[in-house]
Amino acid sequence: MIGESIFATVRGVEDLPDFSPMIRDGSGTQPNLWASSLHETLAADQQAFYAGLPEFEYRDEVCEYLRRSATEKSTKPLAITWFLEVSGDYLNLRFSSADLRQIRVIGVLTREPDFCPECTG
Q: How far apart are CA 27 and CA 71, in angstroms?
A: 23
Confidence tier at 13 by pLDDT (50, 70, 90): very high
Q: At what angle do helices 85-95 and 60-71 cross, to 10 degrees?
A: 50
In single-letter form, the type of residue at position 66 comes to: L
With cut-offs at 50, 70 and 90, classify the pLDDT of residue 112.
low
More confident residue, 53 or 12: 12
Res 30 pLDDT > 60: yes
pLDDT tens figures, 60-97: 888 888 888 888 766 788 999 998 888 899 999 999 99
46 pLDDT exceeds 70? yes
Question: Is the pTM of the predicted complex or chain greater than 0.85?
Answer: no
Burial-class residue 43 by CB neighbours within 10 Å (0-12, 13-18, 19+): middle
* 3-state class percentages of the chain: helix first, strand second, coil last, to nearest 5: 45, 10, 45
- Give the residue among 85, 83, 77 at the shortest CA–CA distance from 2: 83
